[in-house]
Amino acid sequence: MDITIYHNPVCGTSRNALALIRQAGFEPKVVEYLKTPPAREELEKIIRDAGLSVREAVRQKEKLYTELGLDDSKMTDAQLLDAMVTHPVLINRPFVVTPLGTRLARPLEVVREILPLEALQKVADAEVQRVGA
């Protein structure tokens, strides 16, 4: 199964999403989006496929969000996308893309929605072993 994670190794949620995918038995394509940001069209598709609005995909906790005036409700989707492409730190994370769907892994558990059931059993078995150890 082809899986891509738009990953920030400094982010705990992103690291945990990557670990969950690996526990499920997959080695995803890891895109460190701060080093290799997605093109605007790719970013638009990821956001759309995740069922989010552009504003929901912006990392609002980032200082740049207010510095650039992105908190102004009059900012258009195009303006928000321009800011995200120019400043990839504004892209919320991590996004996970599989053939079963795309999710912004916040909360982390939503990644389970786009992994096959048999892979989730591996994760559940690993969690049971870890708890019982």
Q: Which CATH superfamily does the domain covering 1-33+93-133 fall into?
A: Glutaredoxin (3.40.30.10)
Residue 51 has pLDDT above 90, yes or no: yes
CA atoms within 13 A of residue 60's CA, in its CB half-sphere: 7
Domain ranges in the chain are 1-33+93-133
Render pLDDT for 15-35 as a digit per residue (tens, 0 to 9): 999 999 999 999 999 999 999
Exactly one of 1, 4, 11, 52 is catalytic; name it.
11
Residue 128 has pLDDT above 70, yes or no: no
Q: Would you call 112 exposed, middle or buried from its count of C-beta atoms within 10 A (0-12, 13-18, 19+)?
A: middle
pLDDT at 120: 74
Total-model pTM: 0.88
Q: Where are the alpha helices (DSSP H) in 1-133?
A: 12-23, 40-49, 54-57, 63-67, 77-86, 117-132
Render pLDDT for 101-127 as a digit per residue (tens, 0 to 9): 999 999 999 999 999 887 777 676 656
Residue 58 bears catalytic tag: no
